[in-house]
Structure 1
Amino acid sequence: MFPIRDHNPSGRTPFVVYALMVLNIVIFLSYQPIMGDPRLLSAFFNDWALIPKDVMQGNELHGVVTSMFLHGGWLHLAGNMLFLWIFGDNLEDEMGHVGFLGFYLLSGVGAAVAQIAANPASPIPMVGASGAIAGVMGGYLLLFPKARVDILLIIIIFFRIFTVPAWVMLGLWFGLQLLNGITSDATGGGVAHWAHAGGFVVGAILCLPLWLRRGASGFWQRTEGHPPHPEAKYRLSRSTVPTVRRKR
């Protein structure tokens, strides 16, 4: 299950969201030549990724920030950019360009701190914008809990698009991060689930002042839990595949 779009495009151009997407893609492309060489790639990530053990020893502190702009593969990058594109524009609309950029970076730092706290002795490099984007999702949930989000549900060979309120999709996602974080502590794993959960909580907390300034629950009542502008109307196009009727 993953989102493919929401029904509330922003009221103005989300320049920071676009800039972050371009920056992440350009940086990923910059080290594509060494992706096939495990030795060079390992050395690169050791220099620029977040390594909890090193940070706890006071070394390589820059990794707390630089790791947000690195990715381990095309699917990792594409998934993160999809989530940023869907949920980031409405927050940038509410916070302003500079405010959203600061929020994004602080969410990423908060996610890194959460992962370090969960496993401070880990020597494994951590990369990805997931923690910062989880903060965006946490803020989105606080401000727009009833915004409509289209999700693609895949069960083996079953594909179906559903429209659900944001609180359903984001609540399930957050719950899965907590569950996977607990189970990965016991079994090991290659995904920084605590960074995701931590970033989500940090993002919601960072959005609290904005939510309170907008009127707290009064903001929800005025907007019905949606971004404060008209919804987009989507209509699935009809299939061009001809219908084959059964012969009797």
Structure 2
Amino acid sequence: MIPLSDDNPTLRTPIVTYLLLGAIGATWVFVQGAGLNTLALVSSVCNLGLVPGELTGGAPVGLEVPLGDGLACVVDQEPINRLTPLTSMFLHGSWGHILGNCLFFWVFGNNVEDSMGRMRFLVFYVVCGLAAAAAQVAVDPSSPIPMVGASGAISGVMGAYLILYPRVRVNMLFIFIIIFRIIPLPAWLVLLYWFGLQVITGLPQLNQLNAEGGSGVAVWAHVGGFVAGLVLVKFFENRNLTSRRSGWRHRLHPDHP
């Protein structure tokens, strides 16, 4: 299932959503070489990605993690490591990784921003991203594997959307072999299905934390970000904006729940 759009127009231009998407895209192109320069991609992931074992000291300095093409990340004690919970939010590992994250953020981010206001939304996004990073570090504190991606912060946005707009219809693309079909589904079904999938995927990892290499997907960052969004949304929500949105939606769709 791939989200394409929702039946949830905004009152104001989602400037912060656009700026964050622009920052993610610019980082991918200008820092990571758009995935076309292997050395730039690996260097950015190694130096600016979050390595739990570097933050906690649980991974031995000098430990190498192979990343293909004869390249490897080496655990170090550089001062930049303290900033990687933030810098890692703007990095990605492939075109599929960045496009998938940006699509989810495009669908769900604008309405959450519209309900919080721009500065509150920016702070909320960063806090959810940091909570996601903390969750992944807590689950596997000695991991030497770099974690990159905006998905933890975006998971927080999705958690907020679940609380704010559970019954809004989300247009989902279903692909089965050669059959393509768009089906509108309620947001609560889409988001709870996605969250359940993350938990189910992550549970086996809890029994493999000491296995060398681990998983390539930081699903517990997704879980942590989503839960942070659920918990924090009401602290960041601007009730004046949500009231205006509610009244506007009912005028546009008087029969909509």
Instruction: Pick one of 131, 138, 143 that aligns with 1:117.
Output: 138
**Cα offset, 1:41, TM superposition:** 3.4
Alignment of 1:121-200 (within 5 A): 121-186=142-207, 188-200=214-226
The one-letter code matched in structure 1 to 2:17 is V
DSSP-derived class of the 1:229 partner? helix
DSSP-derived class of the 1:149 partner? strand
Alignment of 1:1-248 (within 5 A): 1-33=1-33, 35-36=35-36, 38-57=38-57, 60-186=81-207, 188-210=214-236, 214=239, 229-230=248-249
Count of equivalent residues: 225
CA–CA separation in structure 2 for the residues paired with 1:152 and 1:201: 25
Report if the CA contact (8 A) 1:147-1:227 is conserved: no
Report if the CA contact (8 A) 1:8-1:229 is conserved: no
| 1:228 to 1:30, Cα distance in 2 relative to 1, 3 A | farther
DSSP-derived class of the 1:133 partner? helix
**Cα offset, 1:107, TM superposition:** 0.4
DSSP-derived class of the 1:199 partner? helix
**Cα offset, 1:94, TM superposition:** 1.1
**Cα offset, 1:229, TM superposition:** 3.2
Name the structure 2 match of 1:243: none
| 1:116 to 1:125, Cα distance in 2 relative to 1, 3 A | same
CA–CA separation in structure 2 for the residues paired with 1:184 and 1:152: 29
Deviations 1:141-198 (A, max 9, x none): 0111111100011223332111111000000000000001113445642111000011
CA–CA separation in structure 2 for the residues paired with 1:140 and 1:35: 31
Report if the CA contact (8 A) 1:65-1:109 is conserved: yes
DSSP-derived class of the 1:161 partner? strand
**Cα offset, 1:30, TM superposition:** 0.9
DSSP-derived class of the 2:204 partner? helix
| 1:17 to 1:33, Cα distance in 2 relative to 1, 3 A | closer
The one-letter code matched in structure 2 to 1:207 is V
CA–CA separation in structure 2 for the residues paired with 1:39 and 1:132: 26
Runs of 5+ unmatched residues, structure 2? 58-76, 209-213
| 1:92 to 1:36, Cα distance in 2 relative to 1, 3 A | closer
Q: What's the RMSD between the two structures over aligned residues?
A: 2.5
Report if the CA contact (8 A) 2:174-2:183 is conserved: yes
